[in-house]
Amino acid sequence: MHTAAHPHGIMFHHFHGEKHPVSQGSISADELAQVIEYCGVDRFLQAEEWCEKAVAGTLDAGDLCITFDDGLLCQYEVALPVLKQYRLTGFWFVYTSVHTGSIEMIEVYRTFRHQCFDSMDEFYERFFATIENTSLRETVQPQLETFDPGDYLRYCPFYSIEDKRFRFMRDVVLNRAQYNDVMMSMLEDYHFDLGDWASRLWMREDHLRDLRARGHVIGLHSHTHPTACARLPVSEQNWEYLANYTTLLRVMGEAALTVAHPCNSYNAEVLRILRQLGIKVGFSATMELADAASDLELPREDHANIMRQLRSDVHAPAATPTAASGSGESP
């Protein structure tokens, strides 16, 4: 059984089944059920109860909750029926640009990686080759030569060296405009149908309202899901969360009280902004700060780590293998 000395959330992102294809880190409905059983069904609190206990400071060490990041349609169509089966509710953290008429490219790029390449290594090879053919090469090369994958994203042991190398390039070396230029060039080269895929990726507003009516909790996850929010100017950080907050207020008819930090990227300014918005409960994306977590940094365990525990436990039921390893995290 999965154990930890602190109350924490279990973090999920991508699911496969029916019209949702297998992707890196995605799991099936059966695997979600296995994770719930492995952790212990009775340990999971309903989302609203978790909020109440977190605010009151009365969470017990064994308490768990279920969380979903990014507002993805696959979560609603694949994971929600499993939660219904166990009569559980969870937290659903939503970035809201897609509910204001935008197409958020972070999820589109992820879909492109999995649909147009036979493997992640093939994508990474093409990605870096594309950069080599641009003026960015002079910026990139010195950074890669000193890059230490052992120290980067150390709380994500499921990432390969190439996974980390790509994320370091995207989140640290390149700015958002440079990264978008590289990726859009690749989408054009592969004639990727942006509009077709965009319609399949995210929940609609009526899905979010249906979740809330069933007792689930809808929370903030920034407006555009920057992968390095802590590195943004304070004005942009403020815009990200104010836009997120006001859009969810319009959609849900009530103020959000919870947040999960995209890619675990936040700083003191972000926490200050969230407190000003009245956010009461927040989640990080790691267990590393469990001993000293504030009410806006409660720990979470990535489901990929639990799947590894489950598969190594000879007494646990065998899990159905997925086509790709790694976290379900959207980036």
If you average pLDDT over every residue of the chain, what do you get?
Answer: 91
Chain center to CA of 150:
22
Statement to judge: residues 181 and 237 lie in one domain: no
Number of domains the chain is built from: 2
- pLDDT exceeds cutoff 90 at 288: no
Check residue 45 and give its pLDDT.
98
Check residue 327 and give its pLDDT.
46
Q: Which of 166, 191, 216 is the last residue of a domain?
A: 191
Q: To 5 degrees, how large is the angle CA 323–CA 329–CA 331?
A: 100
Chain center to CA of 327:
9
Check residue 218 and give its pLDDT.
98
Statement to judge: residues 290 and 209 lie in one domain: yes
Cα–Cα distance, 102 to 178 (Å, whole number) = 20
Identify the weakest region by mean pLDDT among 68-77, 219-228, 257-266, 318-327: 318-327
Q: Which of 136, 162, 191 is the last residue of a domain?
A: 191
Check residue 318 and give its pLDDT.
44
Check residue 224 and give its pLDDT.
97
Cα–Cα distance, 38 to 27 (Å, whole number) = 15
Residue 322 within a domain: no
Residue 16 within a domain: yes
- Residue 232's identity, in one-letter code, is L
- pLDDT > 90 in the chain, percent: 81
Q: Whole domain around residue 160: which residue ranges?
A: 117-191
Statement to judge: residues 215 and 135 lie in one domain: no
Residue 320 within a domain: no
Statement to judge: residues 239 and 161 lie in one domain: no
Residue 225 within a domain: yes
Confidence bin at 290 (pLDDT 50/70/90): low
Statement to judge: residues 92 and 208 lie in one domain: yes
11-24: average pLDDT: 94
Q: Which of 191, 215, 245 is the last residue of a domain?
A: 191
Confidence bin at 276 (pLDDT 50/70/90): very high
Confidence bin at 331 (pLDDT 50/70/90): low
Check residue 2 and give its pLDDT.
78
Statement to judge: residues 224 and 95 lie in one domain: yes
Q: What is the CATH number of the domain that holds 277?
A: 3.20.20.370
Statement to judge: residues 184 and 206 lie in one domain: no
Identify the weakest region by mean pLDDT among 59-73, 264-278, 281-295: 281-295
Could you tell me the pTM of the whole model?
Answer: 0.90
62-86: average pLDDT: 98
Cα–Cα distance, 237 to 8 (Å, whole number) = 26
Contact 23, 3 (CB under 8 A): no
Contact 260, 219 (CB under 8 A): yes
Check residue 312 and give its pLDDT.
84
Statement to judge: residues 253 and 222 lie in one domain: yes
- pLDDT exceeds cutoff 80 at 304: yes
- Residue 39's identity, in one-letter code, is C
Residue 43 within a domain: yes
Residue 306 within a domain: yes
Statement to judge: residues 208 and 299 lie in one domain: yes
155-159: average pLDDT: 84
Statement to judge: residues 224 and 282 lie in one domain: yes
Check residue 261 and give its pLDDT.
97
Provide CB contacts within 8 A for 161, sequence distance 6+: 149
Q: What is the pLDDT of residues 88-127, one digit of tens each?
A: 999 999 999 999 999 999 999 999 999 999 999 999 999 9
Q: What is the pLDDT of residues 183-235, one digit of tens each?
A: 999 999 999 988 888 888 999 999 999 999 999 999 999 999 999 999 999 99
Find where tokens 């008819």 sit.
253
Statement to judge: residues 225 and 297 lie in one domain: yes
Burial 131-148 (b: 16+ CB within 10 A, else e): beeeebeeebeeeeeebe
Residue 325 within a domain: no
Check residue 322 and give its pLDDT.
38
Confidence bin at 325 (pLDDT 50/70/90): very low
Residue 163 within a domain: yes
Check residue 3 and give its pLDDT.
73
Statement to judge: residues 165 and 223 lie in one domain: no
